[in-house]
Structure 1
């Protein structure tokens, strides 16, 4: 049975009307970058809880979550309204196998996300393990609007800290944005446009992690399999590691 830590909100940053980052101060706990916990609030309708990936890296003083507000959702609209000093509970221990320890070696590592699915990768970017294991890391963030491109300053700082090792490629499907691609991920992979823009190949010597919208994951996985990549399983190591984010 899960244990619960009492946390206090220290910041609620709104990227736009339906996207925000929540920072919560809790007693220290261990987790692996890429794992998730549950956030819970006690309301007049009972206890509401939902799983969210940790955006912060292990060892951080605060826990951070990237949340998209679901209009018909019960919990996310309440989380969006939280202010500094408000209470929220966090489950223990952290869970999930969407971690670098589960990913085999490769010539390059593609971190492919849509929407808030970028969260686990942000946690990984703050670890030494990522940079030590892969010479070329390609972070792909597919969103609808430019305002959805959260954490660009943090990503730019990582690129500055590890010059030539990290390529960041935004994809914005509903607005024009300089430097961004504008088609769906599978189409970009089939045509080779994604690989060309990132100046990296996708082959059976690559490792790819997928996190985000289930339709994106399903269709992108098919595109990757057409290039000879296989799903990564413990009993049969392959190239494609998947997180079913919701």
Structure 2
């Protein structure tokens, strides 16, 4: 069984009724931007744990996770109620391969996420690595409503630090959005709307795409990219699309 260590909440951020960030202190092993840890609480005599991606960069403190509250779930509603000074448990060893050292060289890096799956990409964007490796970096963030576009302050800081390299593209799928892309990520790839918005070609010759989201998003977006001649990246068979299921 994995060893657990205690985490102490430093700050609780309530973006809305269903979206919460916890900043916390804990003795974690070194991690790479894009990786996740396992967080848990004791419920009716049983320790319930789930994976949560790190939002903070590896050299940034406090640590931070961002999650959706599943109202009938055994863990997330309890985590969401924690206040500064209260505790939960974490497995200190990080995991996951959605990291920049796992992907091949490319001119442009596309980071496409749905909902809380933006967390690992924010961790990556806070590091120096993407800015030294890629000419252009695009962050695509798909949510249902404008009220779910969390971390806008962080994204604005990244834009200010890297004004010529970085582009942020929000997707709003369930309410009118005249100035934004109003369809799911795969639909905007299929129609060419994402390329028109960024002014960049999404092609095997120039791009590497990292996807993080739910199963439907991953499946549909990969299918759209495959129509462009892109294929999933694996260590033994290099490609153009890296992906990790979230939840």
| Range of TM-score over shorter length | over 0.9
Give the distance between the partners of 1:28 and 1:184, measured in 2 at CA: 36
Q: Deviations over 1:79-134 (max 9, x none)?
A: 11111111111112100111000111112010000011101000001111111111
Give the distance between the partners of 1:178 and 1:55, measured in 2 at CA: 30
Q: 5+ unaligned residues in a row in structure 2: which ranges?
A: none
| Structure-1 residue corresponding to 2:217 | 216
Aligned 8 A contact 1:2 1:93 in 2: no
The DSSP-based 3-state class of the residue aligned with 2:201 is coil
What is the TM-score normalised by the length of structure 2?
A: 0.97
Q: Deviations over 1:157-188 (max 9, x none)?
A: 11101111110000011123453210121111
Give the distance between the partners of 1:198 and 1:90, measured in 2 at CA: 39
Give the distance between the partners of 1:167 and 1:123, measured in 2 at CA: 16
Q: 5+ unaligned residues in a row in structure 1: which ranges?
A: none
Give the distance between the partners of 2:113 and 2:5, measured in 1 at CA: 29
Aligned 8 A contact 1:115 1:141 in 2: yes
The DSSP-based 3-state class of the residue aligned with 1:94 is strand
Aligned 8 A contact 1:8 1:88 in 2: yes
Aligned 8 A contact 1:110 1:137 in 2: yes
Aligned 8 A contact 1:109 1:136 in 2: yes
Aligned 8 A contact 2:22 2:64 in 1: yes
Aligned CA distance change for structure 1 residues 12 and 178 (closer, same or farther; 3 Å): farther
Q: CA deviation at 1:43?
A: 2.5
Aligned 8 A contact 2:28 2:92 in 1: no
Give the distance between the partners of 1:166 and 1:147, measured in 2 at CA: 23
Count of residue pairs the alignment pairs up: 246
Give the distance between the partners of 2:107 and 2:221, measured in 1 at CA: 20
The DSSP-based 3-state class of the residue aligned with 2:4 is strand
The DSSP-based 3-state class of the residue aligned with 1:72 is coil
| Structure-2 residue corresponding to 1:234 | 235
Q: CA deviation at 1:2?
A: 2.6
Q: Which aligned pairs between 1:1-246 and structure 2 lie closer than 5 A?
A: 1-27=1-27, 29-177=29-177, 179-205=179-205, 206-246=207-247
Aligned 8 A contact 2:233 2:241 in 1: yes
Aligned CA distance change for structure 1 residues 219 and 28 (closer, same or farther; 3 Å): closer
The DSSP-based 3-state class of the residue aligned with 1:51 is strand
Greater alpha carbon shift after TM alignment, 101-110 vs 1-10: 1-10
Q: CA deviation at 1:28?
A: 5.2
Q: CA deviation at 1:71?
A: 1.4
What is the TM-score normalised by the length of structure 1?
A: 0.97
The DSSP-based 3-state class of the residue aligned with 1:204 is coil
